[in-house]
Structure 1
Amino acid sequence: MDFGLRDEQKMLLDTVRRFIQQELQPLEQGIEDSGALPREAALAVHEKAKALGLWAMNMPESVGGGGLSAVDRILCEEQFGHTSDILIRRAFGNVYEPLLECRGEQRARWLEPAVRGERTCAIAITEPGAGSDAAGIQTHAKLREDGCWVLNGAKHFISDGEWSDFFLVSARTGDKEISMFMVDKGLPGFTVGKDQKMMGLRGTPHVELFFDQVVLEPLALLAERGQGFKLAMGALNVVRLAQVGARAVGKASHVLEQMTAYATERKQFGQKIGDFQMIQTMLADSVIEVNAARWMVLQAAWKLDQGLDAREDIAMVKVHAAETLGRVVDRAVQLFGGMGFCKELPIERYYRDARIYRIFDGTSEIHRGVIAKQVMKKGAALHDLHR
């Protein structure tokens, strides 16, 4: 594996980095103060990102996307971690990979407008009774004789629900069968509920969705009936690696930069606090853990680019990167002392935002279980081989 950056990668990262610094970071404090990103500002960064070719970079060139490899995307996602979640969503877009299953008229109606940034979408899997257990969803769709589907149920914690024009909704279509549907906002019986306010991630709406006898035309079924769980898991694996793993590394790296700067500037007892051994230990441990997480993310992305199975690697990335971020921001609050607990600096915001990383898209406990099962399976195979 060679992770030396090519010239085109350096140019891409420089463009992304400058866009974040010049266009997005100046908006962060306003979002924190008001709890929302004004629609005018959202549309402005959306249009600027599109003009630079930064929208839908994860989509293949064949459908009008940026055509980035998994490694290229990970490099960009790490930079995305240097600003607020809501700003990244508005500027760079969430065009989910399951949409690549669109065929014929579906492409013109849902996929292509999403890639062009003309229609926005969100993915709706989580329910009040089905969080980490994505297979336990109760939302259901019943097939009518005319080929239409009737959708009933509810979702919650759906990011970007207020902003999105349509949703990728997982629904049960049989006792042991889950399918995925493209559901346009505004259909009769489909309502968007309240924004469920969070401890962190200010400005990013997480809403409830309610489906009451929503009639979906046959065209709304994505891929084949019964493929919904596979599509959802595929989408979540990408999210876990990119939007959790790589962004956690980016956020931790961003915080570490501020810790280092503060340690060289702040003086106590007549010397820089960075000269104290305990502060040096905080910095050293953070550097070690961030770099370890970065290499884990890159290795998993490299495996995806080689067509290899990276599911176990992604589970390890999800746990390690999320928990590394938590430890780094906790050290940052301690290093900054009272100022780290004060809203005058963004450190306390980073602390609040980081806590969700150990929960969403599969808790650390769920992923540890996945990893342990794989370890035991390999151990049993070795045991059988040497018997």
Structure 2
Amino acid sequence: MSLDPATKTQLLDMVERFVKERLQPAEEQVERDDAIPADIVSDMRELGLFGLAIPTEYDGLGLTMEEEVEVAFLLGQTSPAFRSLIGTNNGIGSQGIILDGTEAQKTHWLPKMAAGEAVGSFALTEPDVGSDAASIRLTAERDSEDYILNGTKRYITNAPIADVFTVLARTNPEVKGAKGISAFLVPATLSGISIGKPDKKLGQRGTKTADVIFENCRVPAQSIIGGEAGKGFDTAMKVLNRGRLHIAAICVGAATRILNDALAYAMQRKQFGQPIAQFQLIQAFLADSRAELMAGRAMVLEAARKRDRGEKVNLDASCSKLFCSEMVGRVADRALQIHGGAGYMAEYAIERQFRDVRLFRIYEGTSQIQQLVIAREMIAAVDE
């Protein structure tokens, strides 16, 4: 159910103030320390940001997809680390439970996630398994009423601070591809789980990613999401479809911030006796960026509204993720060029932003995977 207009306005105003007054001033500290300050995490909990997309019956705010992307347009206007922390709880960390979990799984985990008391993490990628997610090798061998997990997951967001992992594992080695995969809810405290050293990344400092290693980790059979083995890949794809819309909205937010910064710089930076914003080639950079930003925003909103209406959005989500992640890269490149030599210096935010946005074209489905999904959906529609 949608928020009433007054409540929605109040929420968006609150998030906008929080981004501008608390998060943006802390960006340099996050970049320097590679960590989010504890007091900001506490504020996020108090504001309910960990539970934006979790249903109200489990103590979340229960935002619609359209409302969530409008919040993401604002959260994208600061360091991705802040969004990554709360976004995993609202997205890939909780959505598998929301969409396919048993009532017991929902009751146990979702209120904790909504309150920020439990941080979720989605463990899909492996050392030799990335875009080909159906080739998962981590094994889950049945042993009486339990499963024994063995294998490694890689580049797992929130791994060093996670309280529960959604783990995609192969429960039926005889079945190749997607049908032999199940999704498990695995508490991080179980014996047999270890976390690798934190990854050092090109950008998005402050986000925590690492390997998660399972060595004879015993989990009860009732830990399978939905209680039925072999459905994990379907759950993962539903989660990623939704996540792609969210990431597309974050890209729109990031492009908004980058373009605003570039315009402000172009208005105050003078060359040849006038602000560089008066030069037509600079104006072309600004105009192209604004047009692409407007298109991306419209795409995401329309796809979100379709999802809220219960329509299939596989193609729309991939189109939005593809266009917006590529779009924000172009906007960042133009913005750095507008800054000239200054843009290559860490003194200006564009140097960090340029590095940060590069990842959007890779995670939750690379641009090339989105192209394949889009084409496959187009062909399937004709065959129908």
Q: TM-score, normalised by structure 1?
A: 0.92
Counting only pairs closer than 5 Å after superposition, residues 210-289 of structure 1 correspond to structure 2 as 210-223=213-226, 224-242=228-246, 244-289=247-292
Partner of 1:141: 140
SS at match of 1:354: helix
2:80/2:356 contact within 8 Å kept: no
> What's the counterpart of residue 169 of structure 2?
171
Query: How has the CA–CA distance of structure 1 residues 319 and 89 changed in structure 2, closer, same or farther, with 3 Å as cutoff?
Result: closer
Q: Indicate the larger mover: 51-60 or 153-162.
A: 51-60
The one-letter code matched in structure 2 to 1:169 is: V
Residues 157 and 209, structure 2, Cα contact 8 Å, conserved in 1: yes
Displacement of 1:375: 2.7
Contact 1:46 1:92 in 2 (8 A): no
Give 1:333's aligned residue.
336
Letter in 2 for 1:150: I
Q: Percent identity?
A: 37
Q: Is 2:27 the partner of 1:28?
A: yes
Distance 1:221 1:24, change over 3 A: same
CA displacement at 1:108 relative to structure 2: 4.2
- Measured in 1, the distance between the counterparts of 2:346 and 2:42 equals 31
Deviation at 1:84, TM superposition (A): 1.4
Q: Is the 8 A contact 1:56 1:92 kept in 2?
A: no
Partners of 2:317 and 2:58 lie apart in 1 by 26
Structure 2: runs of 5 or more not aligned: none
Q: Deviations over 1:253-299 (max 9, x none)?
A: 11000111111111100111111110000000000000000000001
**1:50 corresponding residue in structure 2:** 45
Comparing 291-300 with 194-203, greater Cα deviation is found at: 194-203
Q: Is the 8 A contact 1:46 1:91 kept in 2?
A: no
Equivalents in 2 of 1:272, 1:21: separation in Å?
26
Superposed displacement of residue 185, structure 1: 1.4
Match of 1:201 in 2: 204
CA contact (8 A) 2:194 2:212 kept: yes
In the alignment of these two chains, the number of paired residues is: 372
**Counterpart amino acid of residue 18 in structure 1:** R
Q: Is the 8 A contact 1:102 1:111 kept in 2?
A: no
Task: Tell me which residue corresponds to 1:384.
Answer: none
Deviation at residue 79 of structure 1 after TM alignment: 0.6
Is 1:191 aligned to 2:183, yes or no?
Answer: no
Change (3 A) 1:68 1:173: same
**Aligned partners of 1:333 and 1:348 also within 8 Å:** yes
| Secondary structure at the counterpart of residue 89 of structure 2 | coil
How far the C-alpha of 1:373 sits from its partner, in A, is 2.4
Gaps of 5+ in 1: 382-387
SS at match of 1:286: helix
Structure 1 residues 226, 93: closer, same or farther in 2, change over 3 A? closer
Residue identity opposite 2:153 in structure 1: K
Following superposition, the deviation at residue 7 of structure 1 comes to: 3.3
- 2:313 corresponds in structure 1 to 310
Please give the per-residue CA displacement for 1:40-96, whole angstroms capped at 9, x wherever unaligned: x23x22332232333311011121110111100000011110111222244566242
Provide the alpha-carbon RMSD of the alignment.
1.8
Q: Which moved more, 1:52-61 or 1:161-170?
A: 52-61
Given that 1:170 and 1:229 are in contact with CA atoms closer than 8 Å, whether structure 2 keeps it comes out as yes
Matched, 1:373 2:376: yes
- Give, in angstroms, the shift of residue 109 of structure 1: 3.3
Q: Which moved more, 1:215-224 or 1:49-58?
A: 49-58
CA contact (8 A) 2:77 2:257 kept: yes
Work out the CA distance in 2 between the residues paired with 1:205 and 1:199. Answer: 13
Secondary structure of 1:191's counterpart equals strand
Q: Secondary structure at the match of 1:94?
A: helix
Paired letter, 2:230? G
* Preserved CA contact (<8 Å) 1:333 1:340: yes
